[in-house]
Amino acid sequence: MSKWDSVKLLHAQTAEAFEGSFGARADVVNAAADARERLSQTLTQLVYRARFKILAQSTNPFYLMKLRAAADDSIAGLAVTTSKFIEFRNFNLDTKHTSAVKVSGSGWHSIELRMTVGTSGSVQVFLDGTLVPIQATHNLGTTPVGKLQLGDNNNDRTYQVVYDNVSIGTD
């Protein structure tokens, strides 16, 4: 967690890790738990990947990840609903697209968000390597991505999740 610019209630731990010795864990009750990192350059096309394992979830959805502008405004996010469905949120239009794909079981999962920013931007989401059917074309605005967010920055969430193998790329 030391490589992130800001960290709130996410901590490195050794009890749960997908690969290697450490994972990042959030144990929150009516609180926010997120980490943010400024990218070395802004991107209009990217792939954001992570492994996650849900240990517990209360009666609220929570964000696994968000993409933000350099000024810190949210552009897009992936959440897990209370029924364990994957949900994509377009903050430019303030719309949510809930898939019919559920996060199943209590094991490790991979999540991948492939996105191109633009008024006719594109979005693809993969859960465990399988394409999650959601609307593919989105008006995501024209502001490029300048920051990554891991976790949920809303102060009213109750959940436990572990993250590992977080990466950003352009392919």
| Domain spans in the chain, listed from the N-terminal domain onward | 6-169
Say how far apart CA 93 and CA 131 lie, in whole Å.
23
128-156 pLDDT per residue, tens: 999 999 877 889 999 999 999 999 999 99
Give residue 1's pLDDT: 65
Full-model pTM: 0.93
Non-local (6+) Cβ contacts of 30 within 8 A are: 155, 156, 157, 158
Say how far apart CA 93 and CA 141 lie, in whole Å.
9
CB of 123 within 8 A of CB of 88?
Answer: yes
Give residue 20's pLDDT: 85
CATH code, residues 6-169: 2.60.120.200
111-132 pLDDT per residue, tens: 999 999 999 999 999 999 999 9
Report residues of the chain scoring pLDDT below 50: none
- The three-class DSSP label of residue 4 is coil
